Amino acid sequence: MLEAKYYDVYKIREDFPILKRKVHGKPLIYFDNAATSQKPQRVIEAIYRYYKEYNANIHRGVHKLAEEATEAFEEARDKVAKFINARYREEVIFVRGTTEAINLVSRAWGDYNVKEGEKILITEMEHHSNIVPWFLLSDRKKSKVEFVKITDEGLLDIQDLNEKLDEKVKLVSLAHSSNVLGTINPVKEISKLSHEKNALFLVDGAQSVPHLKVDVQEIDCDFLAFSGHKMLGPTGIGVLYAKREILEKMEPFLGGGDMIKEVHKWGARWKELPWKYEAGTSNIAGAIGLGEAISYLLSIGMDKIREHEKDITSYTLKRMREIENVKIYGPEDANKKCGIVSFNLGDIHPHDLATLLDEEGIAVRAGHHCAQPLMERLNIPATTRASFYLYNTKEEVDVFIETLKKAQKIFLP
């Protein structure tokens, strides 16, 4: 673990105005980062500055404001490309979020490449965003969706993956890190296995890109989807990365303004990449905010953020073992997971527990976390989930643990 002098979490916390807030008279403890992260002041100011100083549409106007807005928007694309180590900036497509990115692949690639009887391979730990688009594709194309099993520890069953990865599989699509278990999947290995069977590989990076160094060239994934709002950026902006040679062969997802080169009565021709996939007015402020969020993350260092989160997660797991009747789901080794701890406390319903935690100012998530197939695999209806980020502290964890002990006394006398 990094020594404290290399990572000043208390200084970092000063950059986040919302962390000064009180909830029910108690200092806010925000442990719902897997749902959405908080925003540093510089991201808020970057968005405000766009609307205050150079609000204009992009790619169309020749006036000064339009030029400034276009430059800032495209600079954000360059930041994303560098952040994930894309080979070409044209491989970065701005979308609303991970969900839209995966749906784009399902429609613009899947509809033209997946045939009746062929398969999409996903896993039991997927978020609904990486399940439902493939069900919809299977309805349209009479293809199949198969689920790779997970182990009792919450790890991917690589043997089952190998057995199901046959010549009928057109795409393997899975989460880099589970939004419930925190499990970090071996995406580089899975990419290699997929390509050996001539299948493409999509990585749902919603829970990994904000927390880990993600290098698309090292992974050799064909697609990567992630959301800005989970990595200090605003809502309504996300990214689809895809290899240029694949994007060039795909059809547009949406049609309209800004994605066309020319339109006539006899037909239309599309713009070159990446704008072929960005119809209409993009979320300009969102892209600018995401670019600023990336600059902030890089100013701290992704390796340092990862080490801090491992430290917080290890500490939380250690302290939770002090509590009787706690059932933790997923790996209990912080090296195998992102900063997520999903659990149940006796037979207390997760919603009741989350309500009690909220009364102490602690924000967690309770429910099935948009992962009902995983809940069925675990044979439970729901969990309580605490998820951490770069601004969380061990002192916050201590308050969390004491509140769990209080809940135990109230609900489990």
Kindly report, residue by residue over 244-297, the tens digit of the pLDDT. Answer: 999 999 999 998 888 788 889 898 888 788 999 998 999 999 999 999 999 999
Look at residue 62 and tell me whether its pLDDT is greater than 60.
yes
Q: Tell me the pTM.
A: 0.96
Alpha-carbon distance 312 to 314, whole Å? 6
The question of whether 370 is a catalytic residue gets the answer: yes
Indicate the pLDDT class of residue 411, thresholds 50, 70 and 90: confident
Alpha-carbon distance 301 to 396, whole Å? 23
Instruction: Say which CATH class 44-298 falls into.
Output: alpha beta
The model's pLDDT over 305-322, given as tens digits with 9 standing for 90+, comes to: 999 999 999 999 999 999
Alpha-carbon distance 384 to 365, whole Å? 6
Judge contact between 293 and 228, C-beta under 8 A.
yes
The model's pLDDT over 196-220, given as tens digits with 9 standing for 90+, comes to: 999 999 999 999 999 999 999 999 9
Q: What is the mean pLDDT of residues 111-133?
A: 98
Count the neighbouring beta carbons within 10 Å of the beta carbon of residue 65. 13
Element (H, E) at 145: strand 144-148
Strand, helix or coil at 356?
helix
Indicate the pLDDT class of residue 61, thresholds 50, 70 and 90: confident
**pLDDT score, position 4:** 39
Q: What is the mean pLDDT of residues 209-233?
A: 98
**pLDDT score, position 260:** 81
Query: What six digits make up the tokens of 312?
Result: 């917080």
Indicate the pLDDT class of residue 174, thresholds 50, 70 and 90: very high
**pLDDT score, position 356:** 96
The model's pLDDT over 360-391, given as tens digits with 9 standing for 90+, comes to: 999 999 999 999 999 999 999 999 999 999 99
Look at residue 330 and tell me whether its pLDDT is greater than 70.
yes
Domain boundaries, the chain: 4-30+301-411, 44-298
Q: What is the mean pLDDT of residues 156-182?
A: 98
Indicate the pLDDT class of residue 359, thresholds 50, 70 and 90: very high
Mean pLDDT (the chain, rounded): 96
Alpha-carbon distance 187 to 164, whole Å? 17
Query: What six digits make up the tokens of 285?
Result: 């402020």
Percentage with pLDDT > 90 across the chain: 91
Q: Which residue has the tokens 């066309």?
A: 260
Look at residue 51 and tell me whether its pLDDT is greater than 90.
yes
Look at residue 405 and tell me whether its pLDDT is greater than 60.
yes
Look at residue 3 and tell me whether its pLDDT is greater than 60.
no
**Catalytic residue, candidates 370, 375, 399, 401:** 370
Alpha-carbon distance 179 to 167, whole Å? 30
**pLDDT score, position 2:** 37
**Annotation: CATH topology of 4-30+301-411:** Aspartate Aminotransferase, domain 1 (3.90.1150)
The model's pLDDT over 64-105, given as tens digits with 9 standing for 90+, comes to: 999 999 999 999 999 999 999 999 999 999 999 999 999 999
Alpha-carbon distance 164 to 170, whole Å? 12
Taking Cα atoms as reference points, which of 301, 328, 296, 297 lies closest to residue 313?
Answer: 328
